[in-house]
Structure 1
């Protein structure tokens, strides 16, 4: 049976490296048994939510401060498909909530789920999401940060098959802080699609991570940060490692409005080819209308340093081990902003597991 989906065309600039055919194929995968959720939750206190094919498993969840409510998915080409019942966090002024861990298990076919995070002035929250299984998992998340609010979010894309698509829309108020880290270390295709707007003065946004691809896999991100207020800061630190005949694509954009003086924006896109048959596409963009800003971007693609490999082998380190150590150091740049040691170690372990399969 052919699955018909209304998806964007690769003729659109924002989808130039997209893979709609992979989404269609993922949506048509047959259903199977669900994975064991306990293996994917980290040993951390706080609320837990388990979604199987986009549906909350109430019996194995401990929602606490999380509610399920109707959420509109927005107008994005994929995000609008998620309209319906989704998870929501609302934190009152100057309050904090316990860490929320979410495990998304896909068993085949397609599943949709919207979410929203609303932090009032001075509020704080932390969210960890893990995606496993196979199928098309489509998500949209709206985040609204009030004055001096703080949100950290870590996302692990570990599905073994199918496709995961994320749509994030964020509004950051004055003196608020957003830190998002994404790791694509599964074998599924992925698309990370973000639109962040800095609406308040003296706000900070960091959105980055690492995409690790192998075989004929394709992963991509298309993230834009728009500065619309004074003294804003943003960082987009992305790393991509591609092996075999795979493709990793990173598109990062910074827009600075005319009134957003004193903006400081940084983009760092780096790609590493483990074999010359692999591909890494990089596209940093700056669009600046203010005249008193400090914005910089860098984009490089290369192979492992042969001199470093030779030196390590001359000290008795096997070639494969030397490759793994250098690649791990390269990817580690994308994880330094993760403050929680347990979460950071989980990301490193995921990357190490990928390296064992790829090298």
Structure 2
């Protein structure tokens, strides 16, 4: 069953943009509040005011680790997913000897793509950006062909934020390790929506993001496998294994920890199946209402259970969202000075501009209901007609 109604969603349009950000779960907000009001101590201090914050930080680290199959000491708290990605990329590149080579792919999150380009520009790194197929999937054979003796890191996202496409992470990680390279995956969209196991996937570095998990914005984490050497991102007092100095924000760490524990419980109790059922019901209703006009963008099977990216013939998605107020969702297009350009993700997949500009991303979550699905389907169909 879906969670009790969220107060932030009670009086607005139906929310179908969970891949963009999630409402903070009230249980998460309740858990972090004492650390904003009473438990103010520095976790690194050696007096009683530090005891509760230090214990809370330890518990939060364990909760995040449990969600992804890691050990607590392998979790490094960060200020965002983008920061975690940069720590992985920059840390691996600067720790490598010689001229490091980084491999990524064309539909990666901008934090990885732009981070790699910055290392290329500022540090002389060599960057290979691999193509993807029509479903947005990278071919492991292309990864194997790109690997060489200078490859320091392969960074391939676990799940795409627009299409939900799930990449073959374990297969790619095994190839990277055969050539002595590290494997990083941005699991911002995957963690909490599907089972994530760092050991089973064979990754060395993995990004988790709070505001995709019903925690607040401004907190993330990077899994760093024991034994992996990274150059620190922030130098100073030695917090977070010396990789990210600065006094920890205990309240935000607690929020991420509780959010991770709640997500793990959802996984155990069938939430992915519930969301996949809602997603497929929405797709079927749209297909029935608009026969022959609805086209799925991305893979049919290998995708997140909550994500539906469709294009409707004869419709520009930004126009539809501008006129329909019953629900909130996203397009992948960008707008510059009033001119819309197709999503870079869909463009990299080889989807023609007209279809890309028609693309609508509908992403569901903890508070999505059958009633919401029926309302979205009716609103899209009415507008498309």
TM-score, structure 2 normalization:
0.24
Specify the structure having the higher radius of gyration (Cα). 2
> Which structure dedicates a bigger proportion of its chain to helix?
2
TM-score, structure 1 normalization:
0.25
